[in-house]
A = this chain, B = another copy of it.
Amino acid sequence: MAASLPRAPVSSSSAAASPGSRALLLRRRGGGPGRCAGVTAAAAPGWRRRGARPFQAVSVAARSAGSTPGEVAVDPKVEAILNSVKWDSKGLAVAIAQNVDTGAILMQGFANKEALSTTISTRKATFYSRSRSSLWTKGETSMNFINVHDIFLDCDRDSIIYLGKPDGPTCHTGAETCYYTSVYDALQGSKPNQDRQVATTLYSLEDTISRRKEEIVSEGSGKPSWTKKLMLDKQLLCSKINEEAGELNQTLLENEDESRTMNEMGDLLYHAMVLLRVKGVKMEQVLEVLRKRFSQSGIEEKAGRNKS
């Protein structure tokens, strides 16, 4: 991205505010509520921990009585947050979008005050485009919004994480994330490949299992592989899952050491993920189920319902 001077990120108009109001007034593009009009904080499910409720008091639509059209009152608490960020000399801070369920880093851009304020209120990941010198809500063209569940600042307050759930692929190329060029692969002579996404351990394992499935389809059984053998024999796969669950339990009941527990859990997870692949289910979907239980009645309530 080409660096260029952004327009002044915040145009305050204290004269227009009602007397005594501490509200910061932000002027939005076109004077309206922006391209995310109609998307409210309440529409996005909150990702909550430790009893925190989703913050809904901040509203881009809530104009102070004395403000002029096109100006939006920002809650003083939001103003305090915005002012606590160490914006650089261009009024920007790094903003990283991360998938709340998988942890995948989806993209990285920059935010100015207005972009962060908009993200806080609309819960759609919004950036400041340095090349276009304008606010940019990811998904405003592709409709692949990133629905923000929480926002984190770093210890220096100059770096921001938008933790959210993407509606679809994030990269303009159609790839799931923008990071698909491995430096070490390139040094081995490989060309960038959108299938070679940056992936942490769980998703690399899932990817490996998926490739075994593809090999079965494309080559018949092909090169021998334990994963393929499991996929082709449902009874074997299920008996292994039962066996690994039993061995995990045994580490508790017989007070085996921690390393046994780690290994048996690894075995159980791997075999269960083979079953997921056979069923066409992704770990991300499983994690989404768990997250939604949290935010509805809680995992414990769900797990205990009619079972205890």
A275: B residues at CB distance < 8 A: 248-249, 252, 261, 265
Is the pair A183, B267 in contact by a Cβ cutoff of 8 Å? no
Indicate whether A200 sits within 8 Å of B103 (C-beta atoms), given known contacts A207-B49, A242-B246, A300-B227: yes
Number of interface residues of A (CB under 8 A): 125
Say yes or no: is A286 at the interface (Cβ < 8 Å to chain B): yes
CB-CB nearest in chain B for A300? B226
Indicate whether A181 sits within 8 Å of B207 (C-beta atoms), given known contacts A226-B304, A266-B286: no
A258: B residues at CB distance < 8 A: 279-281, 285
Is the pair B183, A120 in contact by a Cβ cutoff of 8 Å? yes
**Across the A-B interface, the 9 shortest Cβ-Cβ residue pairs:** A103-B103, A226-B304, A245-B245, A238-B249, A151-B183, A226-B300, A154-B178, A152-B179, A103-B200
Query: Which chain A residues have a beta carbon within 8 Å of chain B's beta carbons?
Result: 1, 3, 46-47, 49-50, 52-55, 57-58, 75, 77-78, 81, 86, 88-89, 94, 96, 98-105, 107-108, 120, 150-159, 161, 163, 171-173, 175, 178-188, 190, 196, 198-202, 204-205, 207-208, 211-212, 225-227, 229, 234-235, 237-238, 240-242, 244-246, 248-249, 251-253, 258, 261-263, 265-272, 275-276, 278-281, 285-291, 293-294, 299-301, 303-304, 307-308
